[in-house]
Amino acid sequence: MIYRQAVFLDKDGTLIDNVPYNVNPDRIRLRSGAAEGLARLHQAGYLLLVVSNQSGVARGLFPESALAGVEARLRELLGRAGIPLAGFAYCPHHPEGVVEAFRAACECRKPAPGMILRLAGEHGIDPARSWMIGDILDDVQAGRAAGCRTILIDNGNENQWVPGLDRVPHHRAADLDEAARQILDHDNAGHSPP
């Protein structure tokens, strides 16, 4: 099997503007710098995959089926910029959910690494050659637990700052464009995985 390098992306607040519990495709907008940074990563040969907690399903705010429209909209927006999305995974669970079928502590909800590891297996990705980018430390923790290098988009969305060595990002960036430059600078310089 070929083990490829990839960039795993949090969705809300990282890839798109953070509109809490939004599943209306018309309200989905790429964040500033996202298209530029992801185009750069795609051209360099990285697979791009989204991993997103979607507890709105467990909370009864929208049906799981609504996420198909979200994925389609992301693929449309990225496709306009010539950027293929290699994978899209979401976790519909929450331990305090009101929808019994989705009320669970699971291995897919970040900070657990389940979504990253599943997509890595499905796509022949080497986590040690890959990156996780997110806007909160749960994203960083999930990436580290999967064996990825990590970047925190430091845009003010992290508000808990729960400490721990597994929650320290390898890098920080203002947006996906800056994060892409950091990844390419790091990997092109021949740094070995952590």
User: What is the tens place of the pLDDT at every residue in 170-190?
Assistant: 999 999 999 999 999 999 987
Distance CA 109, CA 27 (A): 24
Is 1 contained in some domain? no
Is 143 contained in some domain? yes
Average pLDDT, the chain: 95
Q: What number is the average pLDDT over the span 22-39?
A: 97
Active site residues: 10, 12
Helix axis angle, 67-80 to 34-43, nearest 10°: 70
Return the amino acid letter for 67: L
Domain extent at residue 68 = 6-188
Is 100 contained in some domain? yes
User: pLDDT for 137-149, tens place per residue?
Assistant: 999 999 999 999 9
Helix axis angle, 176-188 to 34-43, nearest 10°: 20
**Structural domain tally of the chain?**
1
Is 77 contained in some domain? yes
User: pLDDT for 110-142, tens place per residue?
Assistant: 999 999 999 999 999 999 999 999 999 999 999
Where residue 88 falls among pLDDT bands split at 50, 70, 90?
very high
For the domain that residue 62 is a member of, what is the CATH number?
Answer: 3.40.50.1000
